[in-house]
Homo-oligomer: A and B are copies of this chain.
Amino acid sequence: MKKFLTLLYFLSFMPFIFSQQINGHYHGRQISFPNIPGFITLVADFHMHTVLSDGEVWPSIRVEEAIRDGLDAIAVTDHIEYQPHQHDIPHTDRNRPYQIASSRAENRALIVINGAEVTRNMPPGHANAIFLEDVNKLNVKDSIKAFKEAKKQGAFIFWNHPHWEAQYTDGIAKLTELHKKLIKKGMLNGIEVVNDVTYSDEALQIALDYDLTIMGNSDIHGLVDWQYDLPSGGHRPVTLVFAKEKSAESLKEALFKKRTVVFFNDMLIGRSEFLVPLLTESIIAENANYVETWSGTTSIAKLQLWNKSDAPLILKNTGEFDFHNQGQIITLAKNTSMELQLKTLEKLEEFELKFEVLNAVTAPKKHPDITITVFVNQE
């Protein structure tokens, strides 16, 4: 009886939390990209912190932020070895962030993945192990043993911010012998080319040279809304994952298979194999026909060019024909269209649009080329 009263007593203060989740519109902050042939495009952030290591929010907030951002998956990855709040939060169970977050995500569309940040001096620096079964087993003195344990649990492991200026003061990602060894032994599977507000060409080159999965994550400690100035149209960096289905299993498979593209600021970074199809699905030409004037039909084709992605696209015309109503470099804002007029010299039944996408990279300073076949409306 007393227990019951106590329960009632505590329950009496709970409604605040729940009622407060509902309010507030999302103001178009939901990040969305088209699927590509054979795969669905999942939006994920695999690096973030809570009060259970050095973050500033309870794990529940990470779930709510992710849902507002339209993410399909997050990994909660508190530091194992770094516990600055331990005076107040002396928790010993390193799975708690995951437990709390996944409880909040129950029956909602967000996949929560158990993870942790192995937090060491360089080398090897910091690394995230995700899809862990028991984080506690990685809480060991020797860093290599932690990586081994992660691998044993089947985790996907990636090097965090290899260009972090607090560890490499020149901000240049540099692979050490230790890293090469970890890679060789399958204990380093990916690398962040983007962390928070930073990007590294050198990290991208390492990913390509050593066949690592290209990752980009927020590493958020405070609030996503503030750090990326969401009311001004900013967004957190995310890793787009091309998966067979929306499940943790499928995400893991896709990560190991390196099927990712990173969306950072107004930039897309990824292997050509995935970035080109993503762009091809994003850029759609519609309603092509020839401009008419009082003097008859011209050989200027006009069409509506859509950007169906959440990244603005800076497109350089590399096709055969010049534009009539634009210079040869155009910016197509996210989820909008513009009218494009092409001087095709003669009336064609079909023609090709070719673009170099300048705000996308498949390697340092290398931009993907895409080709779109346009069929002219015949009446």
* A residues at B contact (CB < 8 Å): 9-17, 20-21, 23-25, 27, 49, 51-52, 54-58, 60-61, 64, 68, 79, 82, 84-85, 88-91, 96, 100, 119, 121, 126, 163, 165-167, 169-172, 196-201, 219-223, 225-232, 264-267, 269, 291, 293-300, 312, 314, 316, 322-329, 331, 341, 343, 345-346, 358-359, 361, 365
Contacts and interface: CB of A to CB of B under 8 A. Distances in A.
A267 B327 contact: yes
B323 A199 contact: yes
Given A12-B295, A171-B343, A64 B300 contact: no
A169 B58 contact: no
A169 to B, nearest CB: 4
B343 A13 contact: no
Q: Which 8 A-B pairs have the closest CB atoms?
A: A24-B226, A166-B293, A231-B231, A169-B298, A56-B58, A267-B327, A165-B298, A20-B222
Contact of A12 (B172, B269, B294): B294
Contact of A361 (B9, B17, B228, B327): B327
Contacts of A225: 24, 223, 225-226
B60 A56 contact: yes
B57 A300 contact: no
A119 B13 contact: yes
Contacts of A89: 88-89
Contacts of A15: 166, 293-294
Contact of A64 (B10, B68, B226): B226
Nearest to A83: B10
Nearest to A229: B24
A199 B84 contact: no
A303 to B, nearest CB: 15
B82 A10 contact: yes
A300 B54 contact: no
Contacts of A79: 13
Contacts of A51: 51, 57-58
Contacts of A55: 58
Contacts of A314: 314, 329, 331, 358
Given A229-B24, A293-B166, A329-B358, A9 B88 contact: no
Contacts of A328: 201, 361, 365
Given A165-B293, A170-B345, A296-B169, A227 B12 contact: no
Contact of A227 (B23, B56, B198, B312): B23
A332 to B, nearest CB: 11
Nearest to A345: B170
A14 B294 contact: yes
A286 to B, nearest CB: 17
A15 B84 CA distance: 13
A165 to B, nearest CB: 4
15 contacts: A10-B82, A12-B167, A15-B166, A16-B196, A16-B219, A23-B226, A24-B229, A170-B298, A170-B299, A170-B300, A198-B341, A231-B231, A312-B331, A328-B361, A331-B359
Contacts of A231: 25, 27, 230-231
Contacts of A54: 13-14, 16-17
Interface centre among A166, A227, A298, A345 (most CB of B within 10 A): A166
